[in-house]
Amino acid sequence: MSDTKPAPIVPNFDDDETDRKLVFICSKGNLDMAYPGLVLANAALGEGIQVDIFFTFWGFDMITKKRMNKLKFSPVGNTAMHLPWGDVRVPQWAAVIPGMQPLATKMMKKSIDDLGIPPIDEFLDQITASGGKLWACKMSADMQGLTEADLRDDVEGIINASDFMGLSEGAQTLFI
């Protein structure tokens, strides 16, 4: 069964309609928690949505030059961590064994790479190339003794909480 339509069916790309705006607050510095914000931000940009990402607290490691490629993953406190075979969870007593964190980090990085998903720095390169803007939190910078020189060159600026209110005006905001 097929039905022929006289006029071509053209997807509605909604180019001129979307004024949707998303702001992501990235507050975590663990490898596993760095990705959700980046994946969603990247997807939003691919849909023509305006994206700003605000890095605060531990999330600062994602934009700090000397730290951004050294994010770790730890199974400690994560009861949903499974072994790669069977359906076996890593018991918490085993999560603290020396060597477990580097091993878990290595495995996660490999899984991410196998899917063709870039490491943090390259992912942020892609996001800024797609028009996303990166912002750093003033309080986090002060607490950690960091300045703009320590951050990625494409960070738009170090802004305070009031500035953030302006940035997020009219936006949907996701805290991660």
Partner 1 sequence: MPTTTLSGHEVHVDDEGFMTEYDEWTEELGAELATQIGIEMTEAHWALIRFLREDYLVKGETATTRRVQAAGGVPVKEQFALFPKKPAKKMAYIAGLPKPAGCV
Size of the site for partner 1 (CB under 8 A): 28
Task: Give the bridge partners for 137, in sequence order.
Answer: 159
The residue from 84, 99, 116, 170 that contacts partner 1 (CB under 8 A) is 116
Residue 103, CB-side half-sphere exposure with 13 Å CA sphere: 13
Least separation in angstroms between residue 126's CB and partner 1 is: 5
Binding residues among 31-50 for partner 1 as defined by CB under 8 A: 39, 42-43, 46-48
DSSP letter for 78, please: -
List CB contacts of 123: < 8 A, sequence separation 6 or more: 35, 38, 42, 117
Is residue 13 within the footprint of partner 1 (CB under 8 A)?
yes
Between CA 85 and CA 76 the distance in angstroms is 19
User: Contact between 11 and partner 1 (CB under 8 A)?
Assistant: yes
- Complex with partner 1: residue 74 or 126, whichever CB lies closer: 126
Residue 83 is a binding residue for partner 1 (CB under 8 A)? no
Residue from 69, 79, 130, 172 in contact with partner 1 (CB under 8 A): 130
- Smallest distance from the beta carbon of 50 to partner 1, in angstroms? 11
Residue 2 contacts partner 1 per CB under 8 A: yes
36: burial class by Cβ within 10 Å (0-12, 13-18, 19+)? middle
Query: Least Å distance between CB 125 and partner 1?
Result: 8
Q: Exposed/middle/buried for 78, CB within 10 Å: 0-12, 13-18, 19+? A: middle
Beta carbons within 8 Å of 147's beta carbon, 6+ residues apart: 141, 158
Site residues (vs partner 1, CB under 8 A): 2-13, 15, 39, 42-43, 46-48, 115-118, 123, 126, 129-131
